[in-house]
Amino acid sequence: MRFSTDKYDWNRWVFDHFNLPAQSRILELGCGTAHLWTRNIDRVPEAWDVTLSDLSTGMLREAQGSLCQSHRHFEFEIIDAQSIPSNDETFHAVIANHVLYHVADRPRALSEIRRVLKPGGCLYAATNGQGHLRELRELVMRVKPDVYLDTGTDRFGLDNGSEQLSRWFSKIDVHHRQGRLAVTEVDALVAYVQSTRRLDQGQLAEFEKLAEKEIALHGVVQIGTDAGMFEAHKDALDSTPSPQVSIDQRRGKRNERPGAAPVHHDDP
């Protein structure tokens, strides 16, 4: 993070938790601009076969450009986490960092992730805790008391993610990491709040004045971060049954196998 006071890079921290064979097939969902890989390219084993995916063609294009000179085996594909176009038991690991709280049908996505993992495979899923950006939220509430800055924790966070994952995975570990941002630029605070679309233009201007006052008074706005990662393991003896729909249907072609029963995904 740009204003982080922690010298230990977030993406290096995430990578340090991977415990994978030297020859692994890995799928990343929601890869963004591939910071996880560019920040760790010196540690990626040559025999890893990594597929980076995103719903955004622009993000995927940028990720591909960032890694084109890496001399490691990366593939790039547009993939919806709710409909992964891969065969059963394909990957040793699936990575979904700060992604699952964006997914509309999370049970379906988790079912798909479990399906494409090999027995003994692992889902690595980073998300936020309840304390994430608390000081920034409190600053915004001084402008608009009833505003809610969404950090994804109500849908899939460190406090409720284990319960959601437990339906699909046999063993779940949680790794916590708290940090601090020391923000010295008003524009950075305004840009973030603007991206949330929670304030109108008048309120945004009021927030900008408030942020300017705080930085003028203290020289910095201190903001705590509360994030971490789930490590969810598929049982080593668990062999996923064949899916009830074809890979073509997961690609969106609505091509059911003859005689296949419809698949229902209920909330946990």
Higher-confidence residue of 70 and 250: namely: 70
Mean pLDDT to the nearest integer, 104-112: 97
- Indicate the pTM of the whole model: 0.86
At residue 1, the pLDDT reads: 60
Angle at 112 between CA 239 and CA 53, to 5 degrees: 125
Check pLDDT > 80 for residue 80. Answer: yes
Q: At what angle do helices 186-196 and 201-218 cross, to 10 degrees?
A: 150
Element (H, E) at 10: helix 10-16
CA dihedral 98, 149, 224, 201 (to 10 degrees): 120
DSSP label of 25: E
The answer to whether residues 137 and 167 touch, using CB atoms and an 8 Å cutoff, is: no
Q: Cβ-count burial of 36 within 10 angstroms (0-12 exposed, 13-18 middle, 19+ buried)?
A: buried
What average pLDDT is seen over the chain? 89
CB atoms within 10 A of CB 109: 24
Q: Residue 226: helix, strand or coil by DSSP?
A: strand
CB atoms within 10 A of CB 198: 19
Sign of CA dihedral 240, 255, 85, 98: negative
Tens digit of each residue's pLDDT (9 = 90 or more) over 191-228? 999 998 899 999 999 999 999 999 999 999 999 999 99
Which overall architecture, per CATH, does domain 10-128+153-176+227-253 show? 3-Layer(aba) Sandwich (3.40)
Mean pLDDT to the nearest integer, 163-167: 97
Tens digit of each residue's pLDDT (9 = 90 or more) over 33-45? 999 999 999 999 9
CB under 8 Å, gap of 24 or more: what pairs does 44-48 form? 44/70, 44/72, 46/72, 46/73, 47/22, 47/23, 48/20, 48/22, 48/23, 48/24, 48/72, 48/73
Q: Residue 230: helix, strand or coil by DSSP?
A: strand
Split at pLDDT 50, 70, 90, the class of 2 is: confident
Closest alpha carbon to 125 in 85, 161, 89: 161
Mean pLDDT to the nearest integer, 39-55: 96
Higher-confidence residue of 247 and 136: namely: 136
Helix ranges (DSSP H) in 72-200: 106-116, 134-141, 153-156, 161-165, 186-196
At residue 241, the pLDDT reads: 58
